[in-house]
Structure 1
């Protein structure tokens, strides 16, 4: 179970504390067990700071705490603080990463049988889509729906999400798509062939959780070979 420690402190010597944290990170490279650290400053009190540190588990957090470098960090940190820092230990019971969820929702929507559902819950009106199957990029909701419609006309398909990585305003999703060629696709009459396509989709989100740009990557040539459109 993921474990999070929240460190709450006050200091008028933030620059010194920041250098202290940089030194600890350098000294514990290859030994520390923390996977993510986030430091925030109180907008209404410039001397109030809160750090959130994530660990794979409570046991891993304890291993990190027992490092000699961590003990020295604590002693030096206390000396820089205006009062004793407070620590809150939390077992994570829910971890919902909204951009990742929106990325999964998008793939779910475009694979929905029947009429293509509205996409405006996940796609911004002016979204810019880069797709290797398009000579020109798709710009705007109407163009994106037309591009998706081309695939839905040619195939019955469903996506499975294999892996996701989120960084800042971007999410990279590694996916598998199982599809049956049931209709006209780029001039190819239906063959009934079952195909499996693998690829990645990188999406850039704006603050409201809607996609403003995306980049698809998949083996278009391999797909056309499988459908008999080109010789292998």
Structure 2
């Protein structure tokens, strides 16, 4: 079970505190078990800071606390605080990246499920699309998504296997394998009923909860070979 520790403190020496955190990151390289750290400042009290540190588990957090570098730098950080920091230990019982869920809905509900009405809900009206399979670098408009999904669904009976997703800031990266049966004309090739597959990566950029821009990288050459469109 993932574990998070919240450290609540007050200080007028945040620059020094920040320097100590940088020193800790450098000193514990290859040894620390913390995976993510966020520091926030209270908008109503500029001396009030909250740090949220994420670990794979409580046990890993304890290993991190036992590092000599952690103990040394922590003592220096406490000296910069007004009073003792307050610690809250949390077992994570729900962890949901909302943008990741929206990205999954494209693959599962729109591409495979064929729900084209959902495109206008998930994609910005001025969506920008970058696709290695197209001659132009950028296509604009949510209608592009509807046209692309229709074209692929007319040519293949397919599904996606989503292997993993990474979210950072407003971007979500999805790594996938696409498998389908060639049931309609594609790339000038008449239906072959062949089972085909390819791998790819999609990056979605979000704005105001909707997908604003997308980058598609996939093994189109492998697909063309399987269809007999090219021979190499």
TM-score range (shorter-chain normalised) is: over 0.9
2-side partners of 1:169 and 1:110: how far apart? 21
Deviation digits for residues 81-132 of structure 1 (CA, Å, limit 9, x no counterpart): 1111000000101100111111111111233345634212321111111112
State the partner residue of 2:22: 22
Contact 1:3 1:90 in 2 (8 A): yes
1:192 aligns with 2:193: yes
State the partner residue of 1:158: 159
State the partner residue of 2:140: 139
TM norm structure 2: 0.95
2-side partners of 1:149 and 1:42: how far apart? 48
State the partner residue of 1:179: 180
Structure 1 residues 113 and 23, CA gap change in structure 2 (3 angstroms): closer
Q: Which runs of 5+ in 1 are unaligned?
A: none
Runs (4+) off by over 2 Å: 109-118
Contact 2:110 2:118 in 1 (8 A): no
Instruction: Report 1:1-232 matches (<5 A).
Output: 1-113=1-113, 116-136=116-136, 137-206=138-207, 208-232=208-232
Structure 1 residues 135 and 188, CA gap change in structure 2 (3 angstroms): same
TM norm structure 1: 0.95
Contact 1:162 1:174 in 2 (8 A): yes
Using the TM superposition, give the Cα deviation of residue 187 of structure 1 relative to its aligned residue in structure 2, in angstroms.
2.8
Structure 1 residues 228 and 50, CA gap change in structure 2 (3 angstroms): same
Q: Which runs of 5+ in 2 are unaligned?
A: none
Number of equivalenced pairs: 231
Contact 1:40 1:50 in 2 (8 A): yes
- Over aligned residues, Cα RMSD in angstroms? 1.4
1-side partners of 2:86 and 2:66: how far apart? 18
